[in-house]
Chains A and B, each alone.
Chain A
Amino acid sequence: MDKTKLVVIGNGMVGHKLLEAVVASGAAAQFSITVLCEEPRPAYDRVHLSEFFAGKSAEDLSLVQGNFFDDNGIHLHLKDKAVGIDRAAKTVKTAAGAEIPYDKLVLATGSYPFVPPVPGKDREGCFVYRTIEDLEAMTAWGKKSKVGVVVGGGLLGLECAKALKDMNLQTHVVEFAPRLMTVQVDDGGGRVLRKKIEELGVIVHTQKNTLEIVDGPGMGVAGRYAMKFADGSQLETDMIVFSAGIRPRDELAPLAGLNRGERGGIAVDEFCRTNDPDIYAIGECALYQGRIYGLVAPGYQMAQVVADQLTGKTESTFRGADMSTKLKLLGVDVASIGDAQGSTKGALSYSFVDERKQIYKKLVVDASGKLLLGAVLVGEAEEYGTLLQMMLNGMSLPDAPEMLILPISEGTARPQMGLDALPAGAQICSCNNVSKGAICAAIDEGCTTLGALKKSTKAATSCGGCGPLVTQILKHELKARGVAVSNALCEHFAYSRQELFHLVKLGGIKTFDELLEKHGKGHGCDICKPTTASILASIYNEHVLKPKHAKLQDTNDYYLANLQKNGTYSIIPRVTGGEITPDGLIAIGAIAKKYGLYTKITGGQRIDMFGAQVHELPLIWRELIDAGFESGHAYGKSLRTVKSCVGSTWCRYGVQDSVSLAIEIENRYRGVRSPHKMKLAVSGCTRECAEAQSKDFGVIATEHGWNLYVAGNGGMKPRHADLFAGDLDHDTLIKYIDRLMMFYIRTADRLQRTSVWLENLEGGIDYLRKVVVEDSLGIGAELEADMRLLIDTYECEWKKAINDPAVLKRFRTFVNSNEVDPNVLFVEERGQIRPANEEERKSRLGSIPVVTESSH
């Protein structure tokens, strides 16, 4: 069968979405696909471009999953640009001279930044903000600069201002119009936004028409350049970034006889087809009914429509898109819904301004007051999801619509949108085009957590703005299905770990028996006992081996060592921050040699000694403690290690002393018990040799302080950590980790690592920032005090154990004999012991009769 030759020009976000949609349709095998991409790398996330300045790499931003192109037989031409289309011959000509035949052609050429024709705009320090190469050039120049100006106060301009701020430049925004974000917000919203942004140290200049850019008066003193404005004023700066809007990349169209709009854009119909039925245009280069859609969500919709058309689902159409948007600009929440300016005839508005907290909210309703037409939210945008759905689905407003935006006081609830009234077709996640119906279907298929829903439907996985709404739907639908979502820990307790934690803390409960008597039933089990032991340890930090807690401990905590497959244990002394003296190394070596232990370096920069039997543990630890070591808590669900790179003390590139900080952090949190193990790391520069972004809590040095990352994970399901806060000073960093760790301990499920915890946390990282940074729940001081108690009451469990005869008595292989376990057999491999395998064990046990003496 002859394959349809599909050529896609452009591998931006939308072009790539088209490829993914074709692959997802299962019909990719019918096509021979060629992609032309003029940039040196395939698709990346332009929406989150500013994160490049907060430490993300080009790879982090990549949208290409694994070997997507190879796996699906797609020919990708990087650094090659289409320069002509021969519609008669049906070929695309490239800059490299190739002529690529097509049956179907898709133009996904995107847009370019508009640079106003100001004399001097081509000077060396002038940039645009579009590609990773632009960012690299900005970074290089930024290093030589003190002051930066962004021309354009729109959405992208403010993103760009964040980038300049991240480079630690004195940052100015110059806008031609009287307010920021002219398209999305009204005057009131613009005022609050400006005030908020100015408080963050960005200097805003509105109503400034730049006439020319000349050499600065001081030549490197006041700035390299001066921008001269129409009102006679001027601004000195070292670099200028133009972000004054975008223009469609439509230059191929007129050459090929494809229709263009008057002000640019390749004209398409509802099938995203140009005037040539075999040529489509999607994304920011396409013009539908006189309009360019400069957001990613409509672009994705167009990509889906074209994929549908190509694969035979001809009923699929694009009929315009809602341009509502919610984003965080310089840390300020801004949302704009529908007719934000109230330009519909007869429209009425409600508004609420809180100048102290700097919050602005406005509703635009129709003349009857029954329908929502639009809204503006600045400073706080939690209502976005609800309001958007009301507007999109024409749902009727409550009698007092103002209640939707007024602050809620204690004891009153904001009127909720009737989720039942939301039609199945309502689009909940616009980034990934997930409808309410799709969410309900996933719930029917067994997704009962937010994490499972995200994985299954992709809802709330891009911008995350719909997360709260998805959660509401999930809860509502589960209830409607009569699914009592049992979060019971086990058959003995009808409570989740989080609920048990609160019962223990509020009730001052100190033992498992008391908890079982008050809130549970039966004897308990291997689920609830260790969970309770962990909770008691997290709250009171009592020695885990106290007689009353002994029966609760998993064997690792009972014997303070890690059980291995043959019933022996391994031992890991603490090597704080991975720093160890030669004497320490010698001591560990000598002890391992004396007891015949297998030694291996761990991933957490420590030394693990394997093959110890129960009765040997105290003997080994006596010697380790005498040599100055302490318990490494490798056996506990607790803080494990704080890995570090060598840092600025030795490294040519290090900018901060990562080893000292790692040691300080490890000593601070050592022994802290938690729902699951916690791993930390500190890197001394952005080269990130300590791999902090794969840790539960990771710290990376910057030139101005420390960046804090949360919820990274290696292991079975790797997860890149999220940047929680940047450029923190030492004390703030420690304060945030105190709060984060304690909040995790309080609220996570049993055996839930921080990665899954954050994925399932309602409101995600924004919510976490509110709780930790803004102290929105008012529990900041309490979290710190709880952590302080754990820090102040730290004790080395092994030091205590070897000095307590009652505890030592438990460390016996046999209660009635001094024999060793005859089933524990080792063979030699590479100069060390390893457990004998089944065959080796059987032949040894069989051939040598085991003679044992009973002690009775």
Chain B
Amino acid sequence: MKTSPAAAQWIDICALDDIVPDTGVAALVNGVQIAIFRVGGSDAPDALYAIGNFDPFSDANVIARGIVGDLGGELVVASPVYKQHFSLKTGICLEDAEVSVPTYAVRLCDGIVQVAP
């Protein structure tokens, strides 16, 4: 996760339970669409990742609806449209390193998922 910005910038999104483990949800934050993923689940502590919801390959806001997994040790989400993989940590596309989606700071605070756009 990124360095925490000033406390005032954190925005509440949803309860952790609103995200099914190992899937994502889309959030609308000041007009920006953010895909937030919950990875881990039953045995490991949940890790949260936030990247842009806009898929640069299909020009559609769908990234949150991709399948989460890992490729070569890198946590990724696969775009549901044309299946390119984006790193959950860096937003970089594994198939084409020139293409990336933005990343956002995200944290869990008292059971509430927060992002700092």
Query: Do most interface residues of chain B lie in helix, strand or loop, or is the interface mixed?
Result: strand
Interface membership of A130, Cβ < 8 A = no
Chain B 83-99 against A: per-residue CB contact (8 Å), 1 yes, 0 no?
10100000000000000
Count of chain A residues with Cβ under 8 Å from any Cβ of B?
Answer: 44
Judge whether B23 and A551 touch: CB under 8 Å: yes
What's the least CB distance linking B34 to chain A, in Å?
A: 9
Q: How far is the CA of A809 from the CA of B15 in the complex (A)?
A: 12
Chain B 3-26 against A: per-residue CB contact (8 Å), 1 yes, 0 no?
000000001111000111111011
What's the least CB distance linking B19 to chain A, in Å?
A: 7
Judge whether A558 and B65 touch: CB under 8 Å: yes
Judge whether B59 and A491 touch: CB under 8 Å: no
Interface membership of A530, Cβ < 8 A = yes
Judge whether A821 and B65 touch: CB under 8 Å: no
Q: How far is the CA of A565 from the CA of B22 in the complex (A)?
A: 24
Judge whether A819 and B28 touch: CB under 8 Å: yes
Residues on the A chain within 8 Å of B85, using CB: 526
Residues on the B chain within 8 Å of A554, using CB: 67, 80
Judge whether B69 and A555 touch: CB under 8 Å: no
Cβ-closest chain A residue relative to B73: A522
Residues on the B chain within 8 Å of A550, using CB: 20, 23
Interface membership of B46, Cβ < 8 A = no
Residues on the B chain within 8 Å of A824, using CB: 61
Stretch at the interface among A108-116, A692-700, A748-756, A810-818: A810-818
Residues on the A chain within 8 Å of B75, using CB: 523
Known: A526-B78, A554-B80, A810-B20. A854 touches B29 (CB 8 A): yes
Q: How far is the CA of A815 from the CA of B14 in the complex (A)?
A: 7
Interface membership of A547, Cβ < 8 A = yes
Known: A555-B66, A823-B60. A850 touches B31 (CB 8 A): yes
Q: How far is the CA of A812 from the CA of B36 in the complex (A)?
A: 14
Interface membership of A525, Cβ < 8 A = yes
What's the least CB distance linking A200 to chain B, in Å?
A: 52
Q: How far is the CA of A631 from the CA of B23 in the complex (A)?
A: 24
The 8 Å CB contact of A567, one of B18, B31, B36, B62, is B62
Within 40-82 of A, Cβ neighbours of B (below 8 Å) are at none
Known: A563-B62, A815-B14, A823-B60. A526 touches B27 (CB 8 A): no
Cβ-closest chain B residue relative to A566: B60
Judge whether A526 and B83 touch: CB under 8 Å: yes
Interface membership of B54, Cβ < 8 A = yes
Q: How far is the CA of A819 from the CA of B33 in the complex (A)?
A: 11
Interface membership of A513, Cβ < 8 A = yes
Judge whether B42 and A555 touch: CB under 8 Å: no
Residues on the B chain within 8 Å of A409, using CB: none
Known: A491-B72, A565-B58. A815 touches B81 (CB 8 A): no
Interface membership of A838, Cβ < 8 A = yes
Judge whether B69 and A823 touch: CB under 8 Å: no
Cβ-closest chain A residue relative to B42: A513
Residues on the B chain within 8 Å of A821, using CB: 33, 61
The 8 Å CB contact of A529, one of B19, B28, B60, B67, is B67
Within 481-501 of A, Cβ neighbours of B (below 8 Å) are at 491-492
What's the least CB distance linking A854 to chain B, in Å?
A: 6
Residues on the A chain within 8 Å of B36, using CB: 815
The 8 Å CB contact of B26, one of A492, A525, A813, is A813
Cβ-closest chain B residue relative to A837: B59
In which size bucket is the chain B interface?
Answer: 35 or more
Residues on the A chain within 8 Å of B21, using CB: 551
Judge whether A525 and B62 touch: CB under 8 Å: no
Interface membership of A856, Cβ < 8 A = yes
Judge whether A523 and B69 touch: CB under 8 Å: yes
Interface membership of A852, Cβ < 8 A = yes
Q: How far is the CA of A554 from the CA of B54 in the complex (A)?
A: 18
Residues on the B chain within 8 Å of A522, using CB: 69-70, 73
What's the least CB distance linking B31 to chain A, in Å?
A: 5
The 8 Å CB contact of A815, one of B26, B60, B71, is B26
Judge whether A551 and B26 touch: CB under 8 Å: no
Interface membership of B106, Cβ < 8 A = no
Q: How far is the CA of A550 from the CA of B19 in the complex (A)?
A: 11
Judge whether A816 and B71 touch: CB under 8 Å: no
Cβ-closest chain A residue relative to B80: A555
Known: A551-B21, A815-B19. A567 touches B60 (CB 8 A): yes
Interface membership of B48, Cβ < 8 A = no
Residues on the A chain within 8 Å of B12, using CB: 816, 856
Interface membership of B51, Cβ < 8 A = no
Known: A815-B13, A815-B14. A551 touches B68 (CB 8 A): yes
What's the least CB distance linking B102 to chain A, in Å?
A: 15
Interface membership of A524, Cβ < 8 A = yes
Judge whether A567 and B71 touch: CB under 8 Å: no
Judge whether A530 and B14 touch: CB under 8 Å: no
Judge whether A555 and B28 touch: CB under 8 Å: no
Q: How far is the CA of A491 from the CA of B73 in the complex (A)?
A: 10
Residues on the B chain within 8 Å of A812, using CB: 25
What's the least CB distance linking B60 to chain A, in Å?
A: 4
Judge whether B66 and A852 touch: CB under 8 Å: no
Judge whether A823 and B18 touch: CB under 8 Å: no
Residues on the A chain within 8 Å of B31, using CB: 850, 852, 854
Judge whether B80 and A815 touch: CB under 8 Å: no
Judge whether A815 and B67 touch: CB under 8 Å: no
Cβ-closest chain B residue relative to A819: B28
Q: How far is the CA of A565 from the CA of B79 in the complex (A)?
A: 12
Residues on the B chain within 8 Å of A809, using CB: 18
What's the least CB distance linking A86 to chain B, in Å?
A: 67
Q: How far is the CA of A482 from the CA of B36 in the complex (A)?
A: 45
Q: How far is the CA of A203 from the CA of B71 in the complex (A)?
A: 66
Judge whether B69 and A524 touch: CB under 8 Å: yes
Q: How far is the CA of A567 from the CA of B21 in the complex (A)?
A: 22
What's the least CB distance linking B10 to chain A, in Å?
A: 10
Q: Offer 28 A-B interface pairs, CB within 8 angstroms, sorted by A.
A: A522-B69, A522-B70, A524-B69, A525-B67, A525-B71, A526-B66, A529-B69, A547-B20, A550-B20, A550-B23, A551-B20, A551-B67, A551-B68, A555-B66, A563-B62, A563-B65, A563-B80, A565-B81, A567-B61, A814-B27, A815-B18, A815-B25, A816-B12, A816-B29, A819-B28, A841-B59, A852-B28, A854-B28
A sample of 9 more A-B contacts (CB under 8 A), given A563-B81, A817-B27, is A492-B69, A522-B69, A522-B73, A551-B20, A566-B59, A567-B61, A815-B36, A816-B12, A856-B12
10 nearest CB pairs, A to B: A525-B69, A567-B60, A526-B78, A551-B22, A555-B80, A815-B25, A526-B67, A523-B70, A817-B28, A814-B28
Residue ranges of B at the interface with A (Cβ–Cβ < 8 Å)? 11-14, 18-23, 25-31, 33, 36, 39, 42, 54, 58-62, 65-73, 75-76, 78, 80-81, 83, 85
Residue ranges of A at the interface with B (Cβ–Cβ < 8 Å)? 491-492, 513, 522-526, 528-530, 547, 550-555, 558-559, 563, 565-567, 614, 809-810, 812-817, 819, 821, 823-824, 838, 841, 850, 852, 854-856
